[in-house]
């Protein structure tokens, strides 16, 4: 029996199903991310676990107990909000002590626990300040501390890093994951940022239109996307449209002036339209050589722009059918803007999905 | 001595003069009555010959003592009741009214536009017929609540409009029951609006003549005692009475002002530096 169970949970607003028949099982030591675009229902799902929203249908179980009917203050959960939502009339110390006072812990215990959280989150010296006297990063640490201090059954995090700048965000990612491992309680983390989800999670649930598109390990989500949406949303990739042209162990696909070879997939019929995704970092480059244009998974192209991303260079390539991006380590041979190259990739790195509606 | 022309441009002089005249117009009558009530020569106290005679006469007059007691009763209870009701109404308006909120708001503040005399008459009839309340002080308090409520809604709404209700979510997630949430988080952040509404409605009910008059008849309040005393000519006690009422009102406003200046309360006005936190 998993620690947190969502059993056919749905939430309706008017005629819209913000959350639609969601089933999830989260283990006790897991860090789970709900990853999806804005409006996909991931925050609503989190608020349902917290008890701030009531599901229209379905049940929520935490630690074996059906909490569907329980108000938030009786669930023993905690939450870190995107806007921090620290109590503005309370000092940092009082904010951190709030969940403990609600638990009616003795005074000494409260002091010890606040002291502990002040220590692990590097908040020493800020205890007597008010939230409006703190920087964004400090407010975020207090918000995280307030979430951890009561040792909740589960910590829910609603885009907690969205208001921080990039550098601070990466620092906090490491820290959040560290505390999750240390405390051994499940974290459910809502984000629209795939890098955050990939850097911290054990498993990722990709949410789209109120439904769970896939719930799998982060490696599976990234390397073996189950749907076209996931292939598009997680990681950065280039997309080709093609028609299944034949093949046995390997499928041959024919698009506009491109020959793609991919590993065989069940359920794809001859002549079917498919979308093929190749992740940017799987596209490799070599100098253009005359006559090699007909090989599969090789594309003659011209370097249009080079974007330096520190350890990586992103090559924006123009080819007869549009644009394609190759992300290569800087340690490899570099190509100048305007250079003629051949972009190529392995058949195993092509993700194929049938195209249901034309143009998508 | 050379005058700096730039400092005394005609426009600036005109502006200062206008301000001065405006303030004189507003406060000269009050100052005049104030001087008169502490002077032996109360008809024309310039310069005043200081004396506490008039004040003593006022304070020994049992009619005015009863009237003060009644006015205080009406003021305090009408203010308490209208502030509490308006607080609840505003919370409902902001949290649960949805798209119809403007309609509800319009109906809440409509009593502002009804003449107080009419409010007094209709309250008298209604309270008598349907609530079984004869004209008495309870009835007067209820009638005052009607228009005090409208002012209180406006004052409290300006404060609550800025309140971030997600703070309540945060409190509840961290284990606070709804009641605890209200007293630990909501109330400490909105009390200035409630206090502001209480003070303003107290002053309104305390000073009210028309509504109270219809519902109380012969029972005196300070305004009605003053009104009644006019029949015998403007006596010096009236000066003292007016000064006392003004002192009470100014004291309350001074309390609000000091709270605002020290930053202890904002009464709906929020300095820029605090905005980010809420």
Residues 6+ apart with CB under 8 A from B47: none
**How many angstroms separate the CA of residue B274 from the nearest CA in chain A?**
7
pLDDT for the residue B132: 82
Mean per-residue pLDDT of chain B: 85
For chain A, give the percent of residues with pLDDT over 70: 94
Mean pLDDT of A228-251: 82
Cβ proximity of A70 and A237 under 8 Å? no
Of A52, A83, A99, the CB nearest to B175: A99
- Mention every residue, 6+ apart, whose C-beta is less than 8 A from residue A273: A241, A242, A243, A354, A355, A358
The pLDDT, as a whole number, for residue B271 is: 43
Determine contact, residues A274/A288, Cβ cutoff 8 Å: no
| Tens of pLDDT, residues A35-78 | 999 989 999 999 999 999 999 999 999 998 999 999 999 999 99
ipTM of the complex: 0.82
pTM of the full structure: 0.80
A-B Cβ pairs (cutoff 8 Å, strict): 69
Domain ranges of chain B: 9-51, 62-275
Burial bucket for residue B8 (CB in 10 Å: 0-12, 13-18, 19+): exposed
Domain B62-275 top-level CATH class: mainly alpha
Task: Point out the least confidently predicted range of A135-149, B111-125, B165-179.
Answer: B111-125
Is it the case that residue B277 has pLDDT exceeding 50?
A: no
Question: Looking at beta carbons, which residues of chain A come within 8 Å of B171?
Answer: 87, 98
* Structure tokens that stand for A311 in this block: 């350890």
Could you count the other beta carbons within 10 Å of the beta carbon of residue A249? 7
Which residue among A78, A81, A87 sits closest to B185, beta carbon to beta carbon? A87
Does residue A133 carry a pLDDT above 70?
A: yes
User: What pLDDT was estimated at residue A270?
Assistant: 78
pLDDT at B6: 59
pLDDT(A345) > 60: yes
Note whether A102 contacts B176, CB cutoff 8 Å.
Answer: yes
State whether A132 and B170 contact (CB < 8 Å): no
- A interface mutation test: which of B172, B174, B178, B277 has the most A CBs within 10 A? B174
How many whole angstroms separate alpha carbon B45 and alpha carbon B33?
Answer: 9
Judging contacts by C-beta atoms under 8 Å, the chain B residues touching residue A99 are 174-175
Contact A173, A196 (CB under 8 A): yes
Cross-chain residue pair A132–B273, CB shorter than 8 Å: yes
Task: Lowest mean pLDDT of A216-230, B157-171, B233-247, name the range.
Answer: B233-247
pLDDT bin (cut points 50, 70, 90) of residue B231 is: confident
What is the model's pLDDT at position A294?
A: 67
CATH class of A4-229: alpha beta
List, in sequence order, every residue forming a beta bridge with A79; answer none if it has no partner.
A156
Give B169's contacts in chain A (Cβ within 8 Å).
Answer: 52, 72, 81, 85
What pLDDT shows up at residue B158?
87
Residue A320 phi/psi, 5-degree rounding, is -60, -25
Span B138-147, average pLDDT = 91
Binary contact (A88, B185; C-beta < 8 A): no
CB contact under 8 A, A79 and B171: no
Subunit contact A98:B171, Cβ cutoff 8 A: yes
Domain A236-354: give its CATH code.
2.40.50.100
Q: Which of A71, A83, A99 sits opposite B174 (nearest CB)?
A: A99
The number of C-alpha atoms within 13 Å of A13 and in the hemisphere containing its C-beta is 7
For residue B269, what pLDDT is reported? 45
- What is the structure's pLDDT at A293? 56
Q: Which of B152, B154, B133 minimizes the C-alpha distance to B143? A: B133
Terminal alpha carbon distance of chain B = 55
Which among B45, B78, B56 is positioned nearest to B200, based on CA atoms? B78
Q: Residue A292 has what pLDDT?
A: 55
**CA distances for A227 relative to A206, A208, A221, A351, angstroms:** 10, 11, 10, 9
Using DSSP, state whether A358 is helix, strand or coil: coil
CB of A142 within 8 A of CB of A86? yes
Q: Please give the residue that has the higher pLDDT: either A248 or B76.
A: B76
Nearest CA in chain B to A148: B174
Closest to A90 (Cα-Cα) out of A54, A113, A114, A55 = A114
**How high is the pLDDT of residue B65?**
85
Measured between alpha carbons, how far is A249 from A262 in angstroms, rounded to an integer?
Answer: 9
Domain boundaries, chain A: 4-229, 236-354
As a whole number of angstroms, the distance between CA B13 and CA B25 comes to 18
Per the CB < 8 Å rule, is B277 touching A88? yes
Compute the average pLDDT of residues B8-12: 87
Q: Do B166 and A79 touch (CB under 8 A)?
A: no
CA of A99 vs chain B CAs: smallest distance (Å): 5
Give the pLDDT score at A190.
95
In angstroms, the Cα distances linking A107 to A98, A101, A151 are: 12, 8, 17
Residue B75 has pLDDT above 90, yes or no: yes
- Residue A5 has phi, psi (to 5 degrees) of -125, 125
B268: pLDDT strictly greater than 70 = no
Evaluate if residue B130 carries a pLDDT over 90.
no
Q: Looking at the predicted structure, is the pLDDT value of residue A247 above 80?
A: no
Look at residue A245 in the predicted model and tell me its pLDDT: 78
State the smallest CA–CA distance between residue B192 and chain A in angstroms. Answer: 13
pLDDT of B275 over the 50 cut: no
The average pLDDT across B122-132 equals: 86
Residue A154 — φ and ψ, nearest 5°?
Answer: -150, 140
What's chain A's Rg over C-alpha atoms? 24
Closest in B166, B185, B276 to A81, CB measured: B166
Percent of chain B at pLDDT exceeding 90:
35
> pLDDT band for position B273 (50/70/90)?
very low
Shortest CA distance from A86: residue in chain B: B167
Instruction: Compute the nearest-CA separation of A45 from chain B (Å).
Output: 15
Average pLDDT over residues B67-87: 94
Q: Is A215 helix (H, G, I), strand (E, B) or coil?
A: strand
Contacts of A13 (CB under 8 A, 6+ apart): none
Cβ atoms of B178 and A72 within 8 Å: the answer is no
Give the per-residue pLDDT at A323: 87
Say which of B176, B273, B274 has its CB closest to residue A73: B176
pLDDT in tens, A271-314: 788 888 999 999 999 888 776 556 788 888 899 999 998 889 99
Predicted pLDDT of residue A248: 62
Tell me how far apart the alpha carbons of residues A207 and B142 are, in angstroms, rounded to a whole number. Answer: 55
Interface of A with B (CB under 8 A): 50-52, 71-73, 76-79, 81, 83, 85-89, 98-99, 102-103, 130-132, 146, 150, 156
Over residues A133-155, the mean pLDDT reads 92
For A146, the closest of B169, B174, B178 (CB atoms) is: B174
Q: Least CB-CB distance to A87: which of B167, B172, B175?
A: B167
Asked if B172 and A71 come within 8 Å (Cβ–Cβ), the reply is yes
List the Cα angle A83/B86/B249 in 5-degree steps: 110
Instruction: Report pLDDT for B61.
Output: 84
> Quick check: A99 and B164 CB within 8 A?
no
């Amino acid at each position: 029996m998993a620690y947190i169970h969502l059993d056919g949970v749905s939430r309706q607003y008017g005629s819209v199903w913000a959350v639609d028949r969601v089933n999830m099982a989260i283990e006790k030591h897991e860090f789970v991310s709900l990853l999806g675009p804005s409006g996909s229902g991931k925050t609503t799902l989190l608020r349902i676990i917290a008890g701030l929203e009531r599901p229209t249908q379905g049940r929520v179980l935490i630690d074996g107990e059906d909490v569907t009917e329980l108000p938030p203050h009786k669930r023993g959960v905690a939450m870190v909000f995107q806007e921090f939502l620290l109590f503005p009339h309370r000092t940092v110390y009082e904010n951190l002590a709030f969940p403990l006072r609600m638990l009616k812990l003795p005074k000494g215990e409260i002091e010890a626990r606040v002291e502990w959280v002040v220590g692990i989150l590097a908040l020493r010296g800020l205890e007597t300040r008010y939230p409006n006297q703190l920087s964004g990063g400090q407010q975020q640490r207090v918000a995280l501390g307030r979430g951890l201090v009561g040792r909740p059954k589960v910590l829910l995090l609603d885009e907690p890093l969205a208001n921080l700048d990039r550098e601070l965000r990466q620092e906090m990612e490491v820290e959040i994951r560290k505390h999750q491992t240390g405390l051994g309680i499940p974290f459910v983390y809502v984000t629209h940022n795939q890098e955050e989800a990939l850097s911290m999670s054990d498993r990722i649930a990709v949410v789209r239109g109120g439904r769970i598109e896939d719930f799998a390990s982060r490696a599976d989500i990234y390397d073996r996307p189950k749907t076209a949406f996931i292939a598009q949303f997680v990681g950065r990739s280039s997309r080709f449209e093609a028609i299944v042209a034949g093949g046995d162990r390997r499928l041959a696909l024919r698009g506009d002036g491109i020959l793609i070879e991919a590993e065989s997939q069940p359920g794809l019929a001859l002549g079917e339209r498919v979308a093929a995704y190749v992740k940017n970092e799987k596209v490799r480059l070599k100098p253009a050589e005359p006559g090699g244009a007909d090989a599969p998974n090789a594309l003659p192209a011209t370097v249009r722009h080079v974007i330096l991303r520190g350890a990586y260079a992103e090559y924006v390539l123009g080819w007869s059918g549009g644009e394609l991006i190759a992300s290569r380590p800087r340690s490899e041979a570099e190509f100048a803007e305007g250079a003629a190259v051949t972009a190529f990739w392995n058949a195993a790195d092509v993700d194929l999905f049938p195209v249901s509606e034309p143009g998508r | 001595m050379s005058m700096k022309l730039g400092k005394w441009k005609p426009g600036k002089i005109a502006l200062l003069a206008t301000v001065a005249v405006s303030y004189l117009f507003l406060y000269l009558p009050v100052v005049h009555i104030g001087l008169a009530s502490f002077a032996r020569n109360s008809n024309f106290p310039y310069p005043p010959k200081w004396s506490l005679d008039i004040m003593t006469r006022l304070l020994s007059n049992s009619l005015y003592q009863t009237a003060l007691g009644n006015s205080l009763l009406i003021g305090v209870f009408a203010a308490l009741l209208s502030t509490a009701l308006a607080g609840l109404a505003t919370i409902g308006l902001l949290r649960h009214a949805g798209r119809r909120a403007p309609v509800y708001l319009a109906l809440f503040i409509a009593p502002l536009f009804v003449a107080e005399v009419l409010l007094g008459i209709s309250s008298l009839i209604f309270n008598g017929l349907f609530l079984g309340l004869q004209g008495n002080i309870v009835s007067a308090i209820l009638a005052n609540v009607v228009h005090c409520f409208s002012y209180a809604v406006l004052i409290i709404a300006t404060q609550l409009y800025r309140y971030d209700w997600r703070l309540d979510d945060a409190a509840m997630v961290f284990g606070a029951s709804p009641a605890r949430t209200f007293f630990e988080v909501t109330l400490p952040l909105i009390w200035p609006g409630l206090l502001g509404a209480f003070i303003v409605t107290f002053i309104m009910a305390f000073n009210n003549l028309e509504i109270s008059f219809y519902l109380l008849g012969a029972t005196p309040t300070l305004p009605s005692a003053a009104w009644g005393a006019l029949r015998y000519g403007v006596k010096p006690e009236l000066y003292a009475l007016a000064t006392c009422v003004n002192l009470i009102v100014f004291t309350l406003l001074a309390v609000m002002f000091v709270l605002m200046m020290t930053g202890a309360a904002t009464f709906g006005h929020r300095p820029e530096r605090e905005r980010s936190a809420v």
